[in-house]
Amino acid sequence: MIETAPFGSTGHASTRVIFGAAALGAMSQPRADRVLETLLEYGINHIDTAAAYGESELRLAPWLALHRERFFVATKTGERTRQGARESLERSLERLGIERVDLIQLHNLVGEEEWEAALGPGGALEALIEAREHGRVRFIGVTGHGTRVAAMHIRSLERFRFDSVLLPCNFTMLSQPDYARDFETLAELCQERGVALQTIKAVARRRWQNGSQPRFSWYEPIKDPAALQRAVHFVLARPGLFLNTTSDATLLPQLLEAASDEPERVSDAQLARDVATFEMEPLFIPGVSEGI
């Protein structure tokens, strides 16, 4: 079983591993049902999906009809206007087959113009606040990718009292000094304010190389069991962090098994050896690769 921890100040004790339902986006319903049964085996109680994750919300719907009370359900909207976000949320609720989501997140809010639009007058945030007032959502969060995301989340928390943030965290990303500095500043701020800190890309190896075609994830994941376990423990050995699972569902049992063990702090030397052995690289590099 996976340990739980307070999800920020929401009052919910979430499993420290959160199921990333992007994995369901292109699955058949029978395959999705088998994947979701794995969550019950490990006691996972928090699901994270998004309007942009293909058929993910639809695949969750019949399952939530049976197990809604067991799960904290989060989704996301990529819309930046008030009207667009309102319509996106209502569509997500319809697709999920539920009356309310526990957490609605502004999806990948990193670009300056989009940030100003979403958080400004007539922006998406207004719709989410309104939805919270009407009982359609309980909490509001913000997510993002790239090397600027931690700094932008800090700005977002200064603008509005978000309940959660989500961003990349793995050894290669935190080996970049500027990103590490911003991440640590954000982590401290989240701890001070009771904001849940969700991490993604824990088991990312690198972007696909030499024309290789992505299979279940846009990035190449770590496949070596021991290295994958160390990557998982790198995140979970640090109190206060949540780990969102990869969109490659073939790795879900292995990842959950690794997370079931007591997380041990892995030395930087061992992680550096993994980087060299498996030719790992940061997914995001300033001025080189910022987007997905």
Element (H, E) at 166: strand 164-168
Three-state secondary structure call for residue 82: helix
Burial of 37 (0-12, 13-18, 19+ CB in 10 A): exposed
CA-to-CA separations, 174 to 42, 125, 147, 150, 268, in angstroms, rounded:
29, 30, 10, 11, 11
Residue type, 83: Q
Q: Nearest 5°: phi and psi at 104?
A: -115, 135
Catalytic (active site) residue 179: no
**Torsion over CA: 46, 232, 201, 250 (sign):** negative
Three-state secondary structure call for residue 146: coil
Contact 243, 18 (CB under 8 A): yes
Q: What is the DSSP string of 3-45?
A: -EEE-TTSS-EEESEEEEGGGGTT--HHHHHHHHHHHHHHT--
Separation CA 219–CA 12 (nearest Å) = 31
Nearest-5° Cα angle at 17, 217 to 270: 75
Nearest-5° Cα angle at 171, 35 to 54: 35
The catalytic position among 42, 53, 179, 219 is 53
Catalytically active residues, by annotation? 53
